Amino acid sequence: MAGQGPTRERVEAAYQALETGDRSRVAEYWAEDMRWLVPGNHQLAGWWEGLDGFLDFMGRVGRLSGGSFVMKREAVLLSGDRSADVSHNVGYRAGADGSPSLYDRLEIDVIHLLRWRDGRVVEGRGAVFGDGTTTFNQFWSQVRADGVRTDG
Amino acid sequence: MAGQGPTRERVEAAYQALETGDRSRVAEYWAEDMRWLVPGNHQLAGWWEGLDGFLDFMGRVGRLSGGSFVMKREAVLLSGDRSADVSHNVGYRAGADGSPSLYDRLEIDVIHLLRWRDGRVVEGRGAVFGDGTTTFNQFWSQVRADGVRTDG
Amino acid sequence: MAGQGPTRERVEAAYQALETGDRSRVAEYWAEDMRWLVPGNHQLAGWWEGLDGFLDFMGRVGRLSGGSFVMKREAVLLSGDRSADVSHNVGYRAGADGSPSLYDRLEIDVIHLLRWRDGRVVEGRGAVFGDGTTTFNQFWSQVRADGVRTDG
Amino acid sequence: MAGQGPTRERVEAAYQALETGDRSRVAEYWAEDMRWLVPGNHQLAGWWEGLDGFLDFMGRVGRLSGGSFVMKREAVLLSGDRSADVSHNVGYRAGADGSPSLYDRLEIDVIHLLRWRDGRVVEGRGAVFGDGTTTFNQFWSQVRADGVRTDG
């Protein structure tokens, strides 16, 4: 796919590969030298470097949310070597299922802007709509609403 | 253009019309019943309803920043009735040109997700990359770094 | 009382005078040249200058919260010309009574540090315990959880 | 000292003991079952449980700031079993000495409210004046202004 930009199908396939957690399948869509920028200023925020860094990030998301995260993709936009996907994400802090607190339950609309090279993602940056970055910071905070600290 | 989605050229033209401030030109690209969601929880955050609401928002941006805002568009992505444009924005709080404070100077990378209908934008939502939503809140805050209040 | 610091009784009396809203009574405890620093970066944050500025702030608190604010004083500490009072504050955004949202309901533990001169408060600064400054910003935000803007 | 509240001298002595890092000296002023609440929602925020938890917190402050933190005490207030101390704190993120960025340099006015029992602190809670909680979150964030992640 050298020289070609991503298609909607390839974007979908990249995320599906990611969900399998199978590194060799993931590496078909996500470049070894990729980087990923998580919005906010919480424990997961900032640039994750390399495919291993990205997988480390994804693993922490799974662990901190007890595997509860559900991303529902709503749109994929394209242009040249870029794609943007919009999704509605819902999840709970591990052990806090059903809590209505913004420190325990996350519900946000996000957009990821990806840059591709030879069929693989080389850079991704996420951003949250509305005041979702504030609630993102609360959700990933190492404190809960009552100030009790949780493991990072 | 009924039934057709936006093109890159039309997205550019929509923003250029907006910059003229000429309501009749603006209305060729932005629908009367449009709405626009500004990220964060500051004085400009939230949904602005209608073209007049949107123009009110734009007017406040200009006034609060002393007309200093510069948006440099870096990419436009498309899909059906949607577009997403990425831009690098720099501006100063009115009267604070040259200040390095995050309460006075804004430099962010943003993405706007637009939905179009018959050649006009009917909905737009912005989101900021990195920790830009925090600095967005600081920049649009009615306080400066030293706690001095400014007019809303 | 020139030359003497505040007593616990005088601190209590100052807040009680404030609650009456009777400017002449208020002025017995709060100096005309007083200033007051509200924590956070929301619409009420920052320094309010002069007794009239302070009363303007208090009026906005009442209006934005539909008069729902309840401050329960828990302790008053003293030293020379300073006092510090700790209180537990609960209130709702006007029109949002009973909503559990952090954008509608505020419950915080705060401390106010006051400096006195001749029996009157000349400076006050508030600060919020825990992550209460984040929820303070959400509560006083001109947006609600769903992004709907409210009057400032 | 059973039954007596703290004095200004004892408050000072407690902080001086803390600075020595000598656990047995620290334990003369800070109870084994103490707890301490750090404001904000960053990696150090929330309740630290027990003297060991508190010392863990203090150790992380030192490590993350490269030992640069300077607290200048400005006032100590008293009442019964409580004390409140006000201080002006300045520090740099480890390795970022001299940077003007709010993500690298902290300058805040804080107040600590302590509860004492038999001459020892059993509970402490800190709060930051102005918009210092926002800058506190930025300073202790695991990201820097450019999004580069730092060790927690």
pLDDT of A4: 76
The tens digit of pLDDT for each residue in A80-93 reads: 999 999 999 999 99
pLDDT of A1: 47
The tens digit of pLDDT for each residue in C1-46 reads: 456 799 999 999 999 999 999 999 999 999 999 999 999 999 999 9
**Residues whose CB is less than 8 angstroms from the CB of residue D9 and which lie 6 or more positions away in sequence, other chains included:** none
The chain C residue lying nearest B136, using CA atoms, is C41
- Rounded mean pLDDT, B128-140: 97
Distance in angstroms (rounded) separating the CA atoms of residues A97 and A95:
6
pLDDT of D1: 47
**CB distance A143–D41 less than 8 Å?**
yes
Is 90 exceeded by the pLDDT of residue A3?
Answer: no
Answer with the residue of higher pLDDT: B49 or D3: B49
pLDDT of B3: 60
Q: Confidence band (pLDDT; 50, 70, 90) for B1? A: very low
Is 90 exceeded by the pLDDT of residue A38?
Answer: yes
Segment among A102-116, B2-16, C82-96 with least mean pLDDT: B2-16
pLDDT of D152: 57
pLDDT in single tens digits along all 152 residues of chain D: 456 799 999 999 999 999 999 999 999 999 999 999 999 999 999 999 999 999 999 999 999 999 999 999 999 999 999 999 999 999 999 999 889 999 999 999 999 999 999 999 999 999 999 999 999 999 999 999 999 999 75
Comparing CA positions, the residue from B114, B117, B146, B142 lying closest to residue B127 is: B114
Closest CA–CA distance from residue A17 to any residue of chain C (Å): 33
Q: What is the ipTM of this complex?
A: 0.95
Q: Which of C41, C123, C136, C151 to mutate to test the interface with B (most CBs of B within 10 A)?
A: C41
Other C-beta atoms closer than 10 Å to the C-beta of D146 total: 11
All domains of chain B in start order, with CATH: 8-139 (3.10.450.50)
Closest CA–CA distance from residue B57 to any residue of chain A (Å): 15
Distance in angstroms (rounded) separating the CA atoms of residues B127 and B86:
10
Handedness of CA C13, C17, C18, C23 (dihedral sign): negative
Distance in angstroms (rounded) separating the CA atoms of residues B145 and B34:
35
Q: How many CB pairs under 8 A join C and D?
A: 90
- Coil, strand or helix: which one is D97? coil
Through-space distance between the first and last CA atoms of chain D, rounded to whole angstroms: 39
Percentage, residues of chain C above pLDDT 90: 93
Is 60 exceeded by the pLDDT of residue C101?
Answer: yes
**CB distance C134–A130 less than 8 Å?**
no
Distance in angstroms (rounded) separating the CA atoms of residues D88 and D70:
8
Backbone angles phi, psi at D125, to 5 degrees: -135, 135
Q: Rounded mean pLDDT of chain A?
A: 95
Is 90 exceeded by the pLDDT of residue C65?
Answer: yes
Is 90 exceeded by the pLDDT of residue C131?
Answer: yes
- Side-chain-side CA neighbours of C41 within 13 Å: the count stands at 25
**CB distance D129–C40 less than 8 Å?**
no
pLDDT of B152: 57
- Rounded mean pLDDT, C120-149: 97
pLDDT of B93: 96
Of B37, B126, B131, the CB nearest to A41: B131
Comparing CA positions, the residue from B6, B47, B79, B121 lying closest to residue A86 is: B79
